[in-house]
Amino acid sequence: MRDQAGESTDCGCSGDCADSGESLARREFLRGATTVVLGGLSLSYLSVAAADINSDGQSQDGTDGSAAQETGSPVTESPAGNPPEGDILFGFLVDTGTCIGTGKCLSACRTENDVPEGNSRTWVERYVHFKDGRLQVDLVPETGYAGSGLPLIDPDEVDRSYFVPKLCNHCEDAPCTQVCPVHASFTSPEGVELVDPNRCIGCAYCVQACPYGARFINPETSSADKCTWCYHRIMRGEKPACVEACPVDARVFGRLDDPRSEINKRLAKVPASVLKEHLGTHPKLHYLGLSGDVT
């Protein structure tokens, strides 16, 4: 640096100007870089610290934690019967590793929401990888496999197999809501993608635009229909019907805006993924243990 400065004084005005400009730019850059690095470090420290505080809160407050477990909903969520208050952002988590494929969630959803036969707001897929390399995908029957009459698979031929529950992804950048020509599809203040059945013209453009096959035209109302995360239930502080019905907690519903909610605790443990991430829809439905074969 000193050498350069000496040269520049020798060189005269024009060179000097250029050089000082250059060093100024360099200094500017260095300052910028330092800020970015320091900022990044402090941010990451902050997030680590915050995580620490959270985990501390969880571990120290043993009583609170168990109370939350007992009622099945985190403490911060309002008890059943009371509508949640304030700014809310709901989210949903599916743990494919724990689903046992009983189909309880399916009949619960159909009963709760009066979903007509032939369409589904939620379904469970079964992926069976055979030892010979074949992959078979089928749907879990709503009555469960027992007594469904489906041909049984010989477990000895199976390499690995798992269930994947599906429902509306309630995308942050929902293609269905984007394409609705009449604003009948909309995002509720709580981040739930909903359909106004009294405005829908039944063009089915949203059905085409949904990459997840979550939408359908309800033959009874002739309007677009889809999973609402049981909007009527969650706004009373209840859990969605499928979550209520799941015997193994493979489905978790809660508030993404609350770091202490069960969904955020489970999301923090293992990396979660979303379906068809490359489409940039940013789903609020997250998956744990999602296999790459799932479409």
Site for other proteins in 171-200 (CB under 8 A): 175, 178-184, 186-189, 194, 196, 198-200
Exactly one of 65, 74, 91, 101 binds other proteins (CB under 8 A); which one? 101
Inter-CA distances, 230 with 46, 61, 71, 276, Å: 36, 31, 19, 24
Exactly one of 76, 144, 257, 268 binds other proteins (CB under 8 A); which one? 144
What is the 8-class DSSP label of residue 270?
S
Inter-CA distances, 205 with 220, 230, 275, Å: 18, 23, 21
Exactly one of 137, 270, 277, 282 binds other proteins (CB under 8 A); which one? 137
Euclidean distance between CA atoms 185 and 282, whole angstroms: 17
Residue-wise DSSP of 146-193: TTS-PPPPPGGGEEEEEEEEE-----TT-HHHHH-TTS-EEE-TTS-E
Q: Which residue, 210 or 256, has its beta carbon nearer to other proteins?
A: 210
Alpha-carbon radius of gyration of the chain: 26
First to last CA, the chain: 58
Exactly one of 91, 103, 191, 283 binds other proteins (CB under 8 A); which one? 103
Binding mask 30-59 for other proteins (x = CB under 8 A): ------------------------------
Phi, psi of 272 (to 5 degrees): -105, 160
Q: How many residues bind other proteins (CB under 8 A)?
A: 99
Among 9-17, 20-28, 56-64, 225-233, which window interacts with other proteins (CB under 8 A)?
Answer: 225-233
119 contacts other proteins (rule: CB under 8 A): yes
Q: Which residue, 253 or 286, has its beta carbon nearer to other proteins?
A: 253
68 contacts other proteins (rule: CB under 8 A): no
For residue 29 the two structure tokens come to 């850059």
Binding mask 150-169 for other proteins (x = CB under 8 A): --xx-x--x--xxx--x---
Exactly one of 238, 261, 267, 290 binds other proteins (CB under 8 A); which one? 238
